[in-house]
Amino acid sequence: MASEQRTHEIAQAMRDAIRANRVAVSCDERVSEADAAQLLGLHPGTLKNLRHQGTGPPAYRIPVAGSRISYRVDDLAAWVEARRH
């Protein structure tokens, strides 16, 4: 249960950052690959490599803000929490 609460808190922090930085977001809360990388504190190339290796957060081949790849905020938050030590 604590992990679910923490995931929710991370997702909310990401939503706050999205609003504060006026990031383009789809109606189902997907952001571009570049914006996802920024939210995660990663270089876009690193996120792309993780996606190709199958170790990154779930990605969609549905465009957002000119990017062919997009990521849901909740998936990004869950991916972060899953890597917590």
CA pair distance 49, 59, nearest whole angstrom: 12
Asked if 39 and 47 touch (Cβ cutoff 8 Å), the reply is: no
Name the packing angle between helices 73-82 and 33-40 (round to 10°).
Answer: 40
CA pair distance 24, 64, nearest whole angstrom: 7
| pLDDT tens, residue by residue, 40-81 | 999 999 999 999 999 999 999 999 999 999 999 999 999 999
Give residue 14's pLDDT. 97
Q: What is the pTM of this model?
A: 0.94
Domains in the chain: ranges and CATH: 1-83 (1.10.10)
CA pair distance 21, 60, nearest whole angstrom: 22
